[in-house]
Structure 1
Amino acid sequence: MNQQSPLAAGNRQSLQGFAPRHFNWEQRGAVGVITLNRPQRKNPLTFESYAELRDLFRTLCQVDAVRAVVIQGAGENFCSGGDVHEIIGPLTQMSMPDLLAFTRMTGDLVKAMRACPQPLIAAIDGVCAGAGAIMAMASDLRVGTSRSKTAFLFTRVGLAGCDMGACSILPRIIGQGRASDLLYSGRSLGGDEALNWGFLNRLVAPEVLLDTSVQWAQEIAAGPSFAHAMTKKMLHQEWALGVDEAIEAEAQAQAICMMTQDFHRAYQAFAAKQKPEFKGD
């Protein structure tokens, strides 16, 4: 949608001046960088950071200036999951209605990540456990290091492995058998194994993890953002469709993309033997 459209009012937002309280946010051109910033505790989540992250991803649905997002942890770890003292302890004292409100809120974070149109890249180093592993799983792409350790450790604390969509999403990334291994055992998946299993898309040295992830995000951001958003939507939506329904849905999606100026720019650039400059409209 063009910024001059009368529909922009109320349907488009800016993150200029955005300063979250419970994590860091930086915008590098068209790439947003989220940093979970509690390195002394391996970047655990709190009730407040769950909610603030959820709200950011919901807002990103209306932000054209951000075309891709990188998620990382400060220090040498990604995220250790829910904070033991600030979340796990209080949960043991809550009533069932409050517990359900909490688990629905955490699930809403994953829903918001999957619904936001920007491709999400998780930059994973060190510990990536519990809800941290879920955030990595819910991202579209994952870059890790050989020292990264991803663990869906819910059964280790007496909970089911079916947390925040894990039993639905994880098998689609690595397969049913491998997902079962991780969700029943709660064991750590090392970087090399995670790459071999397809959980990680790329494996790099720790010192270049963020730069590699941001560069990849910048390459994506330079592409046709409307078409990328459509690709992400169809990848998610087609999980619940039969093949015939998926083919029809993709026919409609592709016809819509053929109406964009980016599609026409790509043709004109190809005809002129030039590289297209995509603008997202």
Structure 2
Amino acid sequence: MREMANYQATHFKWHCEDGIAVISLDRPERKNPLTFDSYAELRDCFRALAYADDIKAVVFGSNGGNFCSGGDVHDIIGPLVKMDMKSLLEFTRMTGDLVKAIIHCGKPVIAAVDGVCVGAGAIIAMASDLRLAATNAKTAFLFTRVGLAGCDMGACAILPRIIGQGRAAELLYTGRSMSAEEGERWGFYNRIVVAEELDAEALKLAKRLAEGPTFGHMMTKTMLNQEWCMSIDQAIEAEAQAQAICMQTQDFERAYKAFVAHQTPVFEGN
């Protein structure tokens, strides 16, 4: 087990309150682009979160009215055009490892998206479990607009599962912007809120999750991601095993005793 409430981030903003970690990129003057360093530290941070029992939920928020403008043109795109194939593959694998780390961190991750959310920023939102959007959020998987393929950081695997194959194909081929209203209608965004209430609503949702059975949430997240690769029979058996494990937790017993006593259960994550 590792405690991360007092984690000191170097390349992004981090704070923790009541078991909820709040992350945001910290270059608001440039709409929060990612750099080589922030990519790597975010990857390592989410990997560590898998072992942090003091963190119950994560909010990946916006800063200065924007979520993320993707990879920094000068700090990332410029150097990439000068790299050899070995170095390029190391970079693309590292960015993909960030998505893997978010998926496997064992905590529900909520993206609170305001303003610009494009490129790798859209991928981070996509990799999150739940997504809230401000009314002015603009989301674009714009890789083809810079001469690349739409298949970046798992986009061709994950985005169709969220919004459907045809809609994902349109966004990935064209690189066009998806509005908040369109994103909610397509199922990318769970809910739209006014920008002034975005942070509060994300924290409210995170608090609700943090007060729930966090071991059960970890198992839910695990199965949501693993079952895409299973047959129906395999999935049903995997869920039988997962639920049997959860039935041995003290939280399950706490819920039963609270129900009998007509009380609200207080979960402790074990």
Shorter-chain TM-score bucket reads over 0.9
The 8 Å contact of residues 6 and 16 in structure 2, kept in 1 or not, is answered as: no
- For residues 161 and 271 of structure 1, what CA distance do their matches in structure 2 show? 53
Structure 2 partner of 1:119: 108
Q: Normalised by the size of structure 2, how large is the TM-score?
A: 0.99
Aligned to 2:43: 54
Distance 1:89 1:276 in 2: 54
**Is the Cα–Cα contact under 8 Å of residues 122 and 143 in structure 1 kept in the other structure?**
yes
| 1:215 aligns to 2:166 (yes or no) | no
Q: Does 1:133 align with 2:122?
A: yes
Instruction: Provide the residue aligned with 1:3 in structure 2.
Output: none
Q: Distance in 1 between matches of 2:4 and 2:162?
A: 31
Task: Quote the residue 2:137 is aligned against.
Answer: 148
Task: State the number of aligned residues.
Answer: 270
Does the Cα contact within 8 Å between 1:146 and 1:192 map onto a contact in 2? yes
Amino acid at match of 2:174: S
Aligned partner of 1:272 in structure 2 is 261
> Superposition pairs for residues 232-271 of structure 1, below 5 Å?
232-271=221-260
Identical residues among aligned pairs (%)? 62
1:80 CA displacement: 0.3
> Which string of whole-angstrom CA distances, capped at 9 and with x for unpartnered residues, describes residues 137-160 of structure 1?
000000001100000000000100
Q: 1:1-281 maps to which residues of 2 (within 5 A)? A: 12-281=1-270
2:108–2:129 CA contact under 8 A, matched in 1: yes
What is the root-mean-square deviation of aligned Cα atoms in Å? 0.6
- Secondary structure (helix, strand or coil) at the match of 1:73 reads coil
State the shift of 1:94 in Å. Answer: 0.2
Secondary structure of residue in 1 paired with 2:61 = strand
Q: Secondary structure at the match of 1:18?
A: coil
Regions of 4+ moved over 3 Å: none
> Does structure 2 conserve the Cα–Cα contact (< 8 Å) formed by 1:150 and 1:188?
yes
Structure 1 length as normaliser, TM-score? 0.95
The residue aligned with 1:4 is none
What is the alpha-carbon distance in structure 2 between the residues aligned to residue 34 and residue 171 of structure 1?
26
What letter is aligned with 1:52?
E
Deviation at 1:16, TM superposition (A): 4.2
Q: Contact between 1:37 and 1:73, CA under 8 Å: does it hold in 2?
A: no
Q: Displacement, 1:18? A: 1.5
- In structure 2, how many angstroms separate the alpha carbons of the residues matched to 1:178 and 1:267? 43
Counterpart CA distance in 2 for 1:145 and 1:233 is: 28
CA contact (8 A) 1:73 1:124 kept: yes
* Structure 1, unpaired ranges of 5+: 1-11
CA contact (8 A) 2:5 2:54 kept: no
How far apart are the structure 2 equivalents of 1:69 and 1:185? 31
